[in-house]
Structure 1
Amino acid sequence: MTFFKFLSRPAALWLAALYCLPGAVAAQGAEGPAFGLIVGYRDGANELSREETDRGPWADGRERAQAVWQRAAQRSRERTQQLATDTGVKVKSVGEAGRSALMRFERVLKGAELEDAMRRVRLHPDVAWVEPDVLLKRQQTKEPNDSIYLSSQWHLKTSGPGAAAAMNLPAGWFRTTGSNVVVAVVDSGILAHPDLPIGLPRLLPGYDFVDDDVYANDGSRRDNDPTDPGDWVSQADKTSDSARFGSCDVADSSWHGTFIAGQIAALTDQPSAQGVAGINWAARILPVRVAGKCGAFLSDLVDGVRWAAGLPVTDVPTNNFPARVINLSFGGSASCSSTPLYQQMVDDVTNANALLVVAGGNNDGPVTRPADCVGVMAVGAVRRDGAKAWYSSFGSQITLSAPGGSNLDSPAVDHLIRSTDNPGLTTAISYTGMSDLNAYGYKQGTSFSAPQAAGVASLMLDINPHLTPAALIDRMKKAARPWSSVTPGVLTACGPAGAEACRCTDATCGAGLLDAAASVQLATGPAAIITPIGTVTPGTAITLNGLASVALTGSSIATHQWTQVSGPTVAITNASTAVAGASLPSSPATYVFRLTVTDDFLPTARTGSDTVTVVAAYPVTSGGGGGSTSVFWGLALWAWVLAVCWQQRRTRRLT
């Protein structure tokens, strides 16, 4: 006779609970108020699932089945009543919910009381799962009161006839309207617009990275003032200083950064019902100015993106508010592979746990940097009916597409993107007494499809802050509405450069149309987090470390599974554990490994995955060109060669 036999059943259950691991007893997160519990019994303990033979004089099969069910239900109720007694849960009555048992509370429970009742029932050895019996409401949405949202922001609303590309924000907002996730706008700076947050905590202290006082147009070089002074270029500029402005287009000030900041985080659902709605109603905006007259220097852009992620930049104060999402709507005409600079920037900010969202480009042709860099979320632009916008670049590097507007459709104001703006042609005009007609503008471009994705990513991070950049990209791609779900007026499939408006495919416009509601829904569940590896010497034995992976509150990680995605095939040791390993061949190559984690959420477990890239390569040595090298450099090189040889021999002995 065991010790437990000397205890009452309730006492035995409570003592057993002390020995249970947290992952074994984690219950489904309770949403109150609950009127009872629905209980699933383990196999063999559920009378309602057993097959029985009945030989009674019944008129037909239905009457026989009813009689069998009635007897099984009675036994199930007796078991459930005993379960309530054993666990100390006070019930008014017991019954059935389908083929599961139902415990009706004496009074409505919520919060800690409900969680406690669920935990006690879940600990019973006969119970497989438990969930609260709550009122299910009809599918709801949440829409803000902003006047321009109601009249003009078609792209944020529920998709349907006339707006197939709309992003379904109302259903997403029903789950979350956002939180204080930091989103960096790396752009032309920002204005103090009445529909944008003012000061802390929502408008963070940014920085001006424009390092040329002429192009900066504010009389100074780098400083801590990211205000946009205007980026106009006049014919006089071109005439008087052709060396600097000869290749620039004559243009009015764009107020580009202010427009994008409003898309992401305009003041929303305020008592004044003013202006436009932002995607994240509580996001913190980090303004990072990198562009002045005629555009942005590459060096300023790279420093600004790095600083936005919290990485150090020489002679610039530390950024105390690292961004989780960085929006970059500037790009060049070269490919990412032409030099290491862009890819290094992307790798650095990604390893700093910041998602870099970039504009796909407006060249109606192949994608260029940074949109073709590995690890970015490159966003293409579609028009209202879901066709590729006439200007949008396209290709396999596009992650997904979002509304970017199209001025070729009539009336244009019903097909463009509207956000915070300024009517000043050069310097900004005061907003005091200004009407909405002038304080808000219309624009088009992938510059304005990218912030749609950045805003949705910030909503996902509110639900699950553990999501890595790769996990955000993966889940947003899975949530995207497939191209087959829209039938745009343009029926010609996107093909070579110059296709203009065309019918999108996965190969040309990404995984589909950005869907905010589905993306936010997929943010739930565990997050696979892998320790970065980077570049190693060929022949190295690597460690695949997923110990940092986490589940949402109330659940635990139940399983880990490592697989190889690409590269020469290698054997993965301990592939079903959090920490696995692999021995790489001695030849240079690039490998990608995936970790999939599953939680213990009931009744249906949830999964999350992420990948890690490992580059096996020898260090590159410079050659040719003259110049002197010291004897110490030569000795160091030979020492390195000998070390590599020794490592390879050692690896061969071990394998």
Structure 2
Amino acid sequence: MGNRIVARALVASLILAAAPASFAAGAAPHATFNVSTLRTQGSYDRFIVKYRDGTTQRTNAAAATQAVSAALSRTAATSSSLRAGKAAMPVASYARKLGTGADLVRVSRKLTASEADALIRQIASDPAVAHVQADVMMQKVRDIPAAAVSPVVVDDPYYQRYQWHFRAPDGTAEKIGSDASSYANKGGSNVANAWNLSDGTGVTVAVLDTGITNHPDIDLSLADAGYDFIIDSYVSGRATDGRVSGGWDLGDWTTEDKYLASNNPNGCVDANNPAEDSSWHGTHVSGNVAELTNNTTGMAGIAYKAKVLPVRVLGHCGGYSSDIADAIVWASGGHVDGVPDNTHVAQVINMSLGGEGKCSDDDVTADAISGAISRGTTVVVAAGNENDDTANYSPSSCPGVIAVASNGITGKRAYYSNYGTGVTLSAPGGGVYANDASSGTVVSAGFSWSAINDGTHEPTTADYGGMAGTSQATPHVTGTVALMLAAVKGASLPTPTPAQIKTLLTSTAHAFPSTPDKVIGAGIVDAYAAVNKALGNDTGPGEPDVTALTNGTSVKASGDGSAKVFSIEVPSGARTLVFTTSGGTGDVSIAVKNGTAGSETTSAKKATNNETVTVARPASGTWYLTVTSPASYANVNVLVRFTAP
């Protein structure tokens, strides 16, 4: 095991847009097309064409290819370079049928942006076509690096020191990692309390990312059952083209000369896109979702008994939208030609991906997501890291997704996080800088912490590290969904639909500690409240959130004077039930009652936090402890204990 923790910030980003357009009135039928992904300096040789049902092109590959060939001929009349004979006339060839039913067609040479624009418009003029777009390369956004630090409750040794993002957003001051200062935690996801209700058992989560690496703190039982959907060998890093079984991360470095745009038309490294070592992004995301917990090793995961199905869609220079669409279909139980059907269908998909362009109903990614949702799979995606309206990015603007923004430990919107009415809710992804500022001192509290690898190119030593971004916020919501699904399954309740899950998340989100500078959804994900409501135990509108306690385990409480409510389940035959508060600052009082309708017993000593209520022979059931104060208080120990029968 590596003896260092590396902090990195990373969000994978799709360069995938969908600006719909149609031809003039009277032209029937209308086709939509997307040219907004084309970049002036870009080059394109792959196009996704969705033919209409009932057309020959829909079912006949030769006819589909011929239609594109005809469009190429028409393009020659409109392209100045082709018309003047300055560039060779490209030839179309059929690539494959996508899982959405669209066709991927390639041309024999790279087209300039203007040539690709002309070809897309000509393809769309075919009455048999419903939609056409370029198959663009998807890339990750630039990392936000942090200085390396040295590592030194659940029994996972790094959990308490680093993973603030799993704890309750109750204002408790926390000193994270190597930080010299403490920060009031108002941005956590309340996962630690949700562990009293669910652990993710019986749920499969598909992580569509760079794949996964060997790590002793991650359940890898489905790693071989996953799949590598990257066909192009230049992107996958394999010797030959083609997809292979297994969701393993081979590395996604771009530090070799062959990835220079100046050396290769497929290259991604240029003045605006520096070379990078391998990110191990998929391992980090998977760790946040389901890292093993209470195993005396490393860190913790949210739905730690859920199964992660790794699906590799991002490699060197990123990954194609066509491969990602197929992966969505496959992971959710749909069929993709040439790939064995998935026998471990995911109930929830995590896509820590985002990029330029509005996602319309006709886009290949939207089609894939719609199919997944129709099969009962919830799709959770990153809102993006561009500090811009997420309506301008895909797949976060695709219909039906749960789009996740990022907040830091103080509960503020992370300065890089996308925003807007398309965001469903926020989750802790890390603010990078002290007090979640937009610049300043990089701190350990500015990151989300999870499993990682130390390899520069290929994977080497398993380790732990920090990343910041909406990519890291997203698995907090995904893991929460897994907890919800496992809880209702364990209680033999009906499985909520993806739409119902979205409503449960937004209706239980924790209120932002202050009004965000931009709209980032209903609030901060509250795993405990979401699981509780999924089980039918909603506290009701206007009532405070309830934090579940375990016998003999103290928690910290901080507040601004508003009531905080705690609960504990007391078994039949228990004796000497004692509620106490102690330490910290301020002057709290407590009230105790059995059930929501029971009579209260109070303790309200002046000028002290040392309050006690003792019940000699408590009745079985749920007991509630309410902590109040006339003013702010902080770091008060709350403890309930009883003698078990």
| Bin of the TM-score, shorter chain as denominator length | 0.5 to 0.7
**Counterpart of 2:479 in 1: which secondary structure?**
helix
1:332 to 355, 377, 380: 355
**Counterpart of 2:196 in 1: which secondary structure?**
helix
Pairwise CA distance, 1:223: 0.6
Residues of 1 paired with 2:475 and 2:402: CA distance? 11
2:511 to 451, 471, 482: 482
Q: 1:244 to 1:411 in 2, by over 3 A?
A: closer
Residues of 2 paired with 1:348 and 1:158: CA distance? 35
Q: Deviations over 1:502-561 (max 9, x none)?
A: x256xx1001110011001011149xxxxxxxxxxxxxxxxxxxxxxxxxxxxxxxxxxx
Matched, 1:144 2:154: yes
Pairwise CA distance, 1:166: 0.7
Residues of 2 paired with 1:219 and 1:258: CA distance? 23
The amino acid of 1:208's aligned partner reads D
Residues of 2 paired with 1:230 and 1:411: CA distance? 27
Residues of 1 paired with 2:401 and 2:517: CA distance? 20
2:445 to 407, 414, 417: 414
**8 Å contact 2:383–2:419 — kept in the other structure?**
yes
Match of residue 214 from structure 1: 234
Residues of 1 paired with 2:517 and 2:451: CA distance? 29
The amino acid of 1:230's aligned partner reads G
**8 Å contact 1:204–1:321 — kept in the other structure?**
no
1:447 to 471, 488, 493: 471
Q: Deviations over 1:453-508 (max 9, x none)?
A: 0000000001124111111100010000122xx03xxxxx6xxxxxxxxx256xx1
The amino acid of 1:359's aligned partner reads A
1:267 to 280, 292, 296: 292
The amino acid of 1:523's aligned partner reads A
The amino acid of 1:344's aligned partner reads D
Q: Deviations over 1:196-240 (max 9, x none)?
A: 11326xx56100000101110132420102211110101513167
Matches within 5 A, 1:624-635: none
Match of residue 160 from structure 1: 170
**Counterpart of 2:365 in 1: which secondary structure?**
helix
Match of residue 417 from structure 2: 392
**8 Å contact 1:329–1:358 — kept in the other structure?**
yes
**8 Å contact 2:224–2:247 — kept in the other structure?**
no
Matches within 5 A, 1:433-582: 439-465=463-489, 466-483=495-512, 486-487=513-514, 503-504=516-517, 508-525=519-536
**8 Å contact 2:261–2:269 — kept in the other structure?**
no
Residues of 2 paired with 1:377 and 1:246: CA distance? 29
**Counterpart of 2:309 in 1: which secondary structure?**
strand
The amino acid of 1:478's aligned partner reads S
Residues of 2 paired with 1:278 and 1:308: CA distance? 21
Residues of 1 paired with 2:340 and 2:431: CA distance? 41
What TM-score do you get using the length of structure 1 for normalisation? Answer: 0.53
The amino acid of 1:456's aligned partner reads T
The amino acid of 1:463's aligned partner reads A
Residues of 1 paired with 2:383 and 2:263: CA distance? 32
**8 Å contact 2:165–2:409 — kept in the other structure?**
yes
Matched, 1:172 2:194: yes
Match of residue 296 from structure 1: 319
Residues of 2 paired with 1:187 and 1:207: CA distance? 11
Residues of 2 paired with 1:525 and 1:159: CA distance? 23
Residues of 1 paired with 2:284 and 2:238: CA distance? 20
Residues of 1 paired with 2:225 and 2:502: CA distance? 28
Matches within 5 A, 1:2-401: 143-161=153-171, 162-199=184-221, 203=223, 205-220=225-240, 221-234=242-255, 236=257, 237-238=259-260, 241-246=263-268, 249=273, 250-270=275-295, 273-337=296-360, 339-367=362-390, 368-401=393-426
Match of residue 460 from structure 2: 429
Q: Which has the higher strand share?
A: 2
Match of residue 34 from structure 1: none
Q: Deviations over 1:79-123 (max 9, x none)?
A: xxxxxxxxxxxxxxxxxxxxxxxxxxxxxxxxxxxxxxxxxxxxx
**Counterpart of 1:520 in 2: which secondary structure?**
helix
Pairwise CA distance, 1:148: 1.2
Residues of 2 paired with 1:281 and 1:415: CA distance? 23
The amino acid of 2:312's aligned partner reads R
Q: 1:521 to 1:218 in 2, by over 3 A?
A: same
**Counterpart of 1:509 in 2: which secondary structure?**
coil
**8 Å contact 1:265–1:279 — kept in the other structure?**
yes
Larger Cα-atom Rg: 1
Residues of 1 paired with 2:368 and 2:506: CA distance? 23
Pairwise CA distance, 1:167: 1.1
**8 Å contact 1:195–1:275 — kept in the other structure?**
yes
**Counterpart of 2:205 in 1: which secondary structure?**
strand
**Counterpart of 2:465 in 1: which secondary structure?**
strand
Gaps (5+ residues) in structure 1? 1-142, 432-438, 488-492, 494-502, 527-655
Pairwise CA distance, 1:426: 1.3
Match of residue 13 from structure 1: none
Q: 1:254 to 1:517 in 2, by over 3 A?
A: same
Q: 1:365 to 1:163 in 2, by over 3 A?
A: same
Q: Deviations over 1:271-309 (max 9, x none)?
A: xx1111000121011111111111110000000111100
| Larger RCO, structures 1/2 (Cα 8 Å, 6+ apart) | 2
Residues of 1 paired with 2:261 and 2:504: CA distance? 51
**Counterpart of 1:380 in 2: which secondary structure?**
strand
Pairwise CA distance, 1:346: 1.6
Residues of 2 paired with 1:165 and 1:475: CA distance? 19
The amino acid of 1:145's aligned partner reads D
The amino acid of 2:471's aligned partner reads S
Residues of 2 paired with 1:305 and 1:423: CA distance? 29
**8 Å contact 1:204–1:284 — kept in the other structure?**
no
What TM-score do you get using the length of structure 2 for normalisation? Answer: 0.53
Q: Deviations over 1:230-255 (max 9, x none)?
A: 10101513167331114563111010
Gaps (5+ residues) in structure 2? 1-152, 172-183, 435-440, 490-494, 538-645
Q: 1:184 to 1:305 in 2, by over 3 A?
A: same
Residues of 2 paired with 1:343 and 1:226: CA distance? 23
Q: 1:147 to 1:512 in 2, by over 3 A?
A: same
**Counterpart of 1:291 in 2: which secondary structure?**
coil
Q: Deviations over 1:369-412 (max 9, x none)?
A: 11111110000001111111011110000000001112222452
**Counterpart of 1:457 in 2: which secondary structure?**
helix
The amino acid of 1:350's aligned partner reads I
Residues of 2 paired with 1:478 and 1:417: CA distance? 24
**Counterpart of 1:276 in 2: which secondary structure?**
coil
**Counterpart of 2:531 in 1: which secondary structure?**
helix
Q: Which has the higher helix share?
A: 1
**8 Å contact 1:204–1:285 — kept in the other structure?**
no
**Counterpart of 2:404 in 1: which secondary structure?**
strand
Identity across the alignment (%): 34
**8 Å contact 1:362–1:391 — kept in the other structure?**
yes
| RMSD between superposed Cα atoms in Å | 2.0
Residues of 1 paired with 2:256 and 2:239: CA distance? 20
